[in-house]
C-alpha cells in the first residue's frame, strides 16, 4: 500500500500541473477531490502542461484517472510492466538511430487495447481505455531515458521471444501468420504444462494466446515502421 501511495503521488505530480483554479469544495470530501485540489495547486508551480491534445479540464480529469489506475489490484502492474517492456525492446527510434516516436506510440496503443480485450486490465467509469493508453505512454516516455539500465534488466525479453517466432516464419519479406500463431500457441501450452507460466484466476490459455498473437502483430508493425530486422 505504501508503494501504491508513493506511485500515486509521483505520477499525479507529473500530470497535475495544468488544472484550473482551486475549487470551493473541501479537498477532503473524497479521494477525487483531494487529487483535484492537488492538480489545482500544482498549476502555480508550472510542473507540466497538457499533452495528447487535452484541454485543461481533460488534463485534470486525467490526473484523477491516474489515481484510480494506481489503486487497482493489477491493472497498474500490467501497464507498468508493458511500459518497461516497450521502452526496452521497442524504443522510439528507427534502425538507423533517427527518431520515430510514432512507431513506439502505435505499439503502446495496440498492446494496451489488446490487454483490455483479453482481460489483462480493467477499465472504470473514470479510467477508460484512452486514460490507460495515456498513462502507459507517460510511463514509457519516462522509461525511454534509462542510462542503459533497460539493457541490464531486459524487461522486453518476452517481446523479443515473440519476435523470434515472427522472424522464423518470415520468408522473402512475407510472414506466415498461421505458422506464427501455431508456434506461439504450442510454446504457451508447453510453458503452462511445465509450470513456467501460471495463469491468474479467471484467465484462460486462449486469452493469453490471443494477447500474444496481437503482440506479435504489433511487433511486426513496429519493425516495418522502424525498418528493423528484429527487436
Annotate 162-217 with three-state secondary structure.
HHHHHHHCEECCEECHHHHHHHHHHHHHHHHHCCCCCCCCCCCHHHHHHHHHHHHH
CB 162 within 8 A of CB 222: no
- Assess if residue 198 is contained within a domain: yes
Report pLDDT for 27: 81
CB 155 within 8 A of CB 85: yes
Question: What does the alpha-carbon distance between residue 51 and residue 214 come to, in Å, rounded to a whole number?
Answer: 27
Phi–psi pair at 93, nearest 5 degrees:
-140, 155
Phi–psi pair at 99, nearest 5 degrees:
-70, 140
Number of compact structural domains in the chain: 2
- Assess if residue 190 is contained within a domain: yes
- Assess if residue 140 is contained within a domain: no
- Assess if residue 201 is contained within a domain: yes
Q: ∠80-129-20 over CA atoms, to 5°?
A: 90
- Assess if residue 208 is contained within a domain: yes
Cell of 71: 489503486
- Assess if residue 141 is contained within a domain: no
Question: What does the alpha-carbon distance between residue 184 and residue 165 come to, in Å, rounded to a whole number?
Answer: 7
Range of the domain at 175: 157-226
Cell of 33: 477531490
- Assess if residue 78 is contained within a domain: no
pLDDT > 90: what percent of the chain? 68
Q: Is the pLDDT of residue 22 over 60?
A: no
pLDDT in tens, 95-134: 999 999 999 999 999 999 999 999 999 999 999 999 999 9
Among 69, 90, 107, residue at a domain's last position: 69
- Assess if residue 82 is contained within a domain: no
Burial 76-106 (b: 16+ CB within 10 A, else e): bebbbebbbbbbbbbbbbeeeeeebeebbbb
Q: Is the pTM here over 0.75, yes or no?
A: yes
Among 47, 69, 91, residue at a domain's last position: 69
When pLDDT is averaged across residues 31-35 and rounded to a whole number, the result is: 81
Report pLDDT for 102: 98
Among 45, 69, 93, residue at a domain's last position: 69
Q: Is the pLDDT of residue 6 over 50?
A: no
Amino acid at each position: 500500500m505504501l508503494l501504491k501511495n508513493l506511485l500515486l503521488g509521483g505520477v499525479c505530480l507529473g500530470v497535475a500541473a495544468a488544472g484550473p483554479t482551486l475549487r470551493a469544495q473541501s479537498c477532503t470530501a473524497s479521494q477525487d477531490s483531494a487529487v483535484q485540489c492537488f492538480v489545482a495547486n500544482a498549476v502555480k508551480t508550472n510542473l507540466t502542461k497538457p499533452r495528447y491534445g487535452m484541454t485543461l479540464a481533460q488534463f485534470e480529469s486525467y490526473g484523477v484517472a491516474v489515481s484510480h489506475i494506481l489503486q487497482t489490484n493489477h491493472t497498474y502492474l500490467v501497464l507498468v510492466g508493458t511500459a518497461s517492456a516497450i521502452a526496452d525492446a521497442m524504443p522510439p527510434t528507427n534502425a538507423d538511430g533517427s527518431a520515430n516516436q510514432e512507431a513506439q506510440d502505435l505499439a503502446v496503443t495496440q498492446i494496451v487495447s489488446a490487454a483490455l480485450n483479453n482481460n489483462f486490465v480493467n477499465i472504470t467509469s473514470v479510467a477508460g481505455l484512452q486514460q490507460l493508453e495515456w498513462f502507459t505512454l507517460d510511463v514509457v516516455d519516462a522509461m525511454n531515458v534509462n542510462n542503459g539500465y533497460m539493457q541490464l534488466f531486459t524487461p522486453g525479453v518476452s517481446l523479443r521471444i515473440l519476435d523470434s517466432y515472427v522472424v522464423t516464419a518470415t520468408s522473402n519479406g512475407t510472414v506466415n501468420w498461421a505458422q506464427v500463431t501455431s508456434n506461439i500457441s504450442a510454446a504457451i501450452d508447453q510453458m503452462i504444462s511445465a509450470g513456467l507460466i501460471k495463469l491468474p484466476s479467471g484467465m484462460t490459455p486462449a486469452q493469453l494466446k490471443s494477447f500474444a498473437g496481437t503482440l506479435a502483430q504489433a511487433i511486426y508493425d513496429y519493425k516495418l515502421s522502424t525498418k528493423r530486422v528484429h527487436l
